[in-house]
Amino acid sequence: MNCQPLISVIVPIYNVEKYVGECVDSIINQSYKNLEIILVDDGSTDRSGEICDDYAQRDNRIKVIHRENGGLSEARNTGLDATRGEYTTFVDSDDLIHQECISTLYNLLVNTQTDISTVSFNHFADGEQVSTKAPLSPVKVYNTGEDAVKSMLYQQGYIDNSPCGKLFKTGLFSSHRFPKGKLYEDLATIPYVCLKAKKVATTTTPMYHYRSRSSSILGRFSLRRCDVLDITRDLVRYMEQNHLSIVNAARSRQFSANMNILWLMSATEIKDDAVEARCWENIKTLRLFSLVNPRVRMKNKIGAIISFIGLKNTMKILKCFKNKLSH
């Protein structure tokens, strides 16, 4: 009799026939065996769906859901609606996970009696051999969900807003889903999920292997990325109404988002006067706060200082650093 609780692994899939087999292999070869592997084929037009069906024939833990294309959020939500596990984790279909990843996440969660556990990302280039080394790192426990969200929104490096590399008690998603048709859907979801957690445990042990694809962030920039302006604005409003202790962290994240969009626009040919003006007004409103708050990260403080020389000069400086700055 298997005494391990069932863990659901949700994998949204869209046109990744080159990578999906390697991804699924890394999941089925986990040392933790009591898994429900939900492969959500989001209307793929290549062989991704067929590959998923082939795996389901070979491993009865795999469930394949074929659906019309609706985007990453809807694919993840479809997986959440189908999940039966006591715990849930997410893996993106071009990424890999270390053989001990799920076991490490589960043991960390149980041993610290927390509702969410996280491991760190190991970034590797497309075509590069993934390191199998995963040196154990110290564990950090946030004694409240609020403390974890503060760290997340201050972008302090201990915990980020990606659903990947994390194990959640599935019930935390009972009233939360990823927003349809939005970019930065993780930022619009995971902070709210974390707020429901009693405690969160993290380790920087690198067990989630994130594949860096060759196309650059600048080459893929579009005004759709401005969704982050609404998402961070809504985060501030929500915290003002419900969690006053997190308001400053949300404002820090809002400043970072507006500065990042301004930088991306400065480094590409895509321009929008209304978006530029919106970002600039938010930056001016938040820059003094960013300078005096000791928890605001140094990148934000530098941006705040630069902003005092005016919009045009700020854009010129940001453009000079287009290859050095990142979101």
Residue 216, pLDDT above cutoff 50:
no
The domain locations on the chain are 7-210, 223-320
Structure confidence by residue, pLDDT tens digits, 265-307: 888 878 899 999 999 999 999 999 999 999 999 999 999 999 9
pLDDT at 326: 44
Structure confidence by residue, pLDDT tens digits, 31-87: 999 999 999 999 999 999 999 999 999 999 999 999 999 999 999 999 999 999 999
Cα–Cα dist 7/37, whole Å: 8
Residue 156, pLDDT above cutoff 70:
yes
Phi and psi angles of residue 133, each rounded to the nearest 5 degrees, phi first: -75, 140
Q: CB pairs under 8 A, 24+ apart, for 237-242?
A: 238/192
- Residue 166: pLDDT band (50, 70, 90) is very high
For all residues of the chain together, what is the average pLDDT?
92
Query: Mean pLDDT, to the nearest integer, of 210-232?
Result: 79
pTM: 0.93
Amino acid at 239: M
CB of 173 within 8 A of CB of 86?
Answer: no
pLDDT at 222: 84
pLDDT at 218: 44
pLDDT at 2: 65
The CATH homologous superfamily of the domain defined by 7-210: Spore Coat Polysaccharide Biosynthesis Protein SpsA; Chain A (3.90.550.10)
Q: In terms of Cα–Cα distance, which of 251, 225, 232 is closest to 304?
A: 251
In the DSSP assignment, the letter for residue 40 is: E
Cα–Cα dist 320/234, whole Å: 31
Query: Mean pLDDT, to the nearest integer, of 177-187?
Result: 94
Structure confidence by residue, pLDDT tens digits, 76-133: 999 999 999 999 999 999 999 999 999 999 999 999 999 999 999 988 887 777 777 7
pLDDT at 269: 75
